Amino acid sequence: MFTSHCDLSHCFEEVSSGQLKTKVHGDFLPTHFLGKFAIVFAFLRQLYLVLVLIVTGTLKSSDVLFADQLSYCLPLIYLFKGPKTKVIFYCHFPDKLLASHSGFARRVYRAVFDTIEEFSMGFADKILVNSNFTKKTASSAFKSLKPESLDVLYPCVGDIRLNQSSVDEVSEFFKEEPFFLSVNRFERKKNISLAIRKYHEFICNTKSNHKLVIAGGYDARVFENVDYLIELESLCKHLKLSSITIRGKLIVAPRNTQVFFLPSISTDLKNALIKNAQMLVYTPSFEHFGIVPVEAMKLGTPVLAEATGGPTETVVPYDNKDFTGYLVGPTEDRWVEYLNHVESLSATEKRQLALRAQQRAQSLFSFEAMAQSLNHAIEHCTPATVNFTALLYLSILLGLVVPIKFAIDR
């Protein structure tokens, strides 16, 4: 894998362990200028990375090349790839829809890169997206792309092996007291406050001893992560919910604690929490895919999520006899109702629900299912075509090849 940045202290364990060999090129380049022009520098960093692959011969020697997230350099890759190399672009979500377009200057600035994004995607032999929701959104955003040129490749969840020490840690900490779980990055768009508010309603209505655990990605260097955690802690105080923030091992906490904040937990601890949770409460709206609900299904834990975006494709809702979880419409307010319902299920019904969830996760979102879909996509690649506009675009890029190649050689 080739990338412009890799922080071994903040990455997937497959990377930090060396299982996935990773090479970094261009990390010396800045990511912004005075907090601005992030997309310009993202483009330049990707350009440098691709140029390294060109001068080292990596592009020509590859059978299949995957470009991820940014499509800007696909025309350059197209020009220098081997005659039999297939280029696949994986679109998580259109960048033009994630960026702000407020203000005249920004709209002009973004118009250039939005146009390049759409134009450059056409140079992939195959475009893959992570869900039908993303496919529909991308087709609407990029009118020049034919809907049939986009294929859905669901992310997979491999076999999850529970770490016994983490399982014991969770069991000893909660002493068999039931808890609901939220797993998300500490970002406002994840709407974690909804889980706290609905948990508060649930507690007020039932006088239950259930706990709420809020865990997920957290980086102390990211202002929003820090600020949002403080905001969530303040919300608990406002609702008169006792809370505690634990960083590290689960050892001890006051018995009357109701909400637990666990920032930056390990994968082993996350899996143990999911396995032991009464329900995963997944609060983002219009999530592009959402891997956490699939992880919960893999471990046999029911999911409660909003009926928008990716979860509508992963979770079979309660109104279906083969339901694997609960989906709440964006205008509905049935969160507390479903929190109550999962508690009313008998032990047999819970086992059947867990089995259905695991079977669905295995059939649609396993490594084997993803490999089969990916092989089909590779075998049915349609070669991209070049036009005169593309050559003009390439000439602009190639004008940077000589000075950057000189820098590489030095």
Bridge partner list, 67 = 89
Instruction: Map 24-42 to HEC letters.
Output: ECCCCCCCCECCECHHHHH
Q: Is the same domain home to 110 and 53?
A: yes
Out of 189-198, 332-341, 387-396, least confident range:
387-396
Q: Is the same domain home to 170 and 64?
A: no
In this prediction, residue 196 carries a pLDDT of 97
- pLDDT tens digit string along 104-162? 777 777 788 888 888 888 889 999 999 999 999 999 888 888 777 789 999 999 899 99
- pLDDT tens digit string along 198-231? 999 999 999 999 999 999 999 888 899 999 999 9
Parallel/antiparallel/unpaired status of strands 279-282 and 303-306: parallel
In this prediction, residue 390 carries a pLDDT of 55
In this prediction, residue 112 carries a pLDDT of 80
Q: List Cβ neighbours of 172 (8 Å cut-off, separation of 6 or more).
A: 250
- pLDDT tens digit string along 29-62? 988 888 777 888 888 999 999 999 999 988 888 8
Q: Check pLDDT > 50 for residue 407.
A: no
Token pair for residue 101? 């377009």
Longest dimension (CA), the chain: 70
Q: Is the same domain home to 146 and 241?
A: no
Where among 331, 348, 365 does a domain terminate?
365
Q: Residue 192 and residue 211: Cα distance in Å, rounded?
A: 15
Q: List Cβ neighbours of 13 (8 Å cut-off, separation of 6 or more).
A: 19, 267
Sheet containing strand 325-328, edge to edge, reads 243-245, 259-263, 211-216, 179-183, 279-282, 303-306, 325-328
Which whole-number Å values give the CA distances from 258 to 197, 242, 243, in the listed order? 13, 5, 6
Q: Is the same domain home to 339 and 198?
A: yes
pLDDT grade for 337, boundaries at 50, 70 and 90? very high
Q: Is 392 exposed, middle or buried (0-12, 13-18, 19+ CB in 10 A)?
A: exposed
Check: CB of residue 154 under 8 Å from CB of residue 365: yes
User: Per-residue pLDDT averaged across 86-112, rounded?
Assistant: 82
Q: Check pLDDT > 50 for residue 401.
A: no
Q: Is the same domain home to 352 and 256?
A: yes
Q: Is the same domain home to 387 and 358?
A: no
Bridge partner list, 303 = 280, 325
Q: Is the same domain home to 225 and 335?
A: yes
Q: Is the same domain home to 137 and 172?
A: no
Q: Residue 377 and residue 49: Cα distance in Å, rounded?
A: 25
Q: Check pLDDT > 50 for residue 330.
A: yes
Q: Is the same domain home to 183 and 93?
A: no
In this prediction, residue 94 carries a pLDDT of 85
Q: Is the same domain home to 117 and 204?
A: no
Nearest to 229 by CA among 277, 280, 271, 192: 192
Q: Where are the beta strands (DSSP E) in 284-379?
A: 303-306, 325-328
- Give the CATH number, domain containing residue 223: 3.40.50.2000
User: Per-residue pLDDT averaged across 83-90, rounded?
Assistant: 91
> Whole-model pTM?
0.84
CA-CA-CA-CA dihedral for 28, 29, 34, 38, to nearest 10 = -130
Q: Is the same domain home to 179 and 102?
A: no
Give 262 or 20, the one with higher predicted confidence: 262
Q: Residue 394 and residue 286: Cα distance in Å, rounded?
A: 36
The total number of structural domains that make up the chain:
2
Q: Where are the beta strands (DSSP E) in 300-393?
A: 303-306, 325-328
Check: CB of residue 45 under 8 Å from CB of residue 29: yes
The DSSP element (H or E) to which 152 belongs, if any, is: strand 150-152
Token pair for residue 180? 């609901």
Q: Is the same domain home to 348 and 389?
A: no
Check: CB of residue 320 under 8 Å from CB of residue 142: no
Structural domain for 85, as ranges: 2-156+368-409
Give 95 or 277, the one with higher predicted confidence: 277
In this prediction, residue 408 carries a pLDDT of 45
Q: Check pLDDT > 60 for residue 192.
A: yes
Q: Check pLDDT > 90 for residue 163.
A: yes
Check: CB of residue 233 under 8 Å from CB of residue 243: yes
- pLDDT tens digit string along 383-400? 776 555 555 555 555 454
- Give the CATH number, domain containing residue 112: 3.40.50
Q: Is 3 exposed, middle or buried (0-12, 13-18, 19+ CB in 10 A)?
A: middle
Out of 5-14, 64-73, 182-191, 356-365, least confident range:
5-14
Give 1 or 382, the one with higher predicted confidence: 1
User: Per-residue pLDDT averaged across 221-248, rounded?
Assistant: 96
In this prediction, residue 290 carries a pLDDT of 94
b or e along 284-301 (b: 16 or more beta carbons within 10 Å of the residue's beta carbon)? beebbbbbbbbbbbbbbb
Cα of first residue to Cα of last residue in the chain, in angstroms, is 24
Q: Residue 167 and residue 193: Cα distance in Å, rounded?
A: 27
- pLDDT tens digit string along 269-308? 999 999 999 999 999 999 999 999 999 999 999 999 999 9
Which whole-number Å values give the CA distances from 108 to 30, 31, 105, 306, 397, in the listed order? 23, 21, 5, 35, 21
Torsion 286-290-294-295 (CA) sign: negative
Q: Check pLDDT > 50 for residue 404.
A: no
Q: What is the rounded average pLDDT for all residues in the chain?
A: 88
